[in-house]
Structure 1
């Protein structure tokens, strides 16, 4: 099963906290908690909860239905990004979120390569139409 990006972000925060507590990380080098405040993680998880709830049966769904699910998750992530002053998701986080969406669809029977090709898109352009982050 695809791992949510928020899971790895939380792991990074915990790991950094352990290193700070052990004195093996200079506090000036610590950035994870600042990059991923709890409000951002909670909001992102809420969006991904909704997305995951919509995945069942997508392998048999029409292209329009699949793209509608993608549009909804991307627009909701846009709102999270906007609520965090447009700085919620940097390059690595954007890639992780896009990979998560792709992997989740694939795990639920959607052939993302074929789906996007039918729209004249490359696989990694799945979210581009709506994505502001």
Structure 2
């Protein structure tokens, strides 16, 4: 299954905490806890839980249904970002990649889907995405 970006972010926070505890990192250079506060991670996971619950059966669904699922997850992530201001360039790329990979794992041909609508593969979320 596609690895959630929040899993990566939690790992980064934990690694930094270990480095701080071991004295291998100057606290002045620590930033992961500030970049990824628990409230952001929990809110993002809640959105991704809902997204993942909608994935089964999408492979045989029509384009409108797939786009509706993508729209819902993107709008929900917009709301999280509005509150937490947490998605920078790398995080955006990870979230978009995760959405693409999760859809692909559930037999949605993202390339064909986006192509049928005059979009590039990596434009799947652009219509709704504010982050």
Q: TM-score, normalised by structure 2?
A: 0.99
What's 1:98 paired with?
96
Any gaps of 5 or more consecutive residues in structure 1?
none
Matching residue within 112, 116, 119 for 2:117 = 119
What's 1:18 paired with?
18
- Which of structure 1's runs of 4+ aligned residues deviate more than 3 A? none
Cα-to-partner distance string for 1:29-69 (whole Å, 9 max, x where unaligned): 10000000000000000000000000000000000000000
What's 1:67 paired with?
67
Cα-to-partner distance string for 1:96-119 (whole Å, 9 max, x where unaligned): 000000000000000000000000
What's 2:126 paired with?
128
Summarize the alignment of residues 52-91 of structure 1 with structure 2, pairs less than 5 Å apart: 52-84=52-84, 87-91=85-89
Secondary structure of the 1:82 match is: helix
How far, CA to CA, are the matches of 1:121 and 1:88 in structure 2? Answer: 27
Secondary structure of the 2:51 match is: helix
Any gaps of 5 or more consecutive residues in structure 2?
none
Offset of 1:4 from its aligned partner? 0.1
Number of residue equivalences: 131
How far, CA to CA, are the matches of 1:70 and 1:123 in structure 2? Answer: 13
Offset of 1:88 from its aligned partner? 1.2
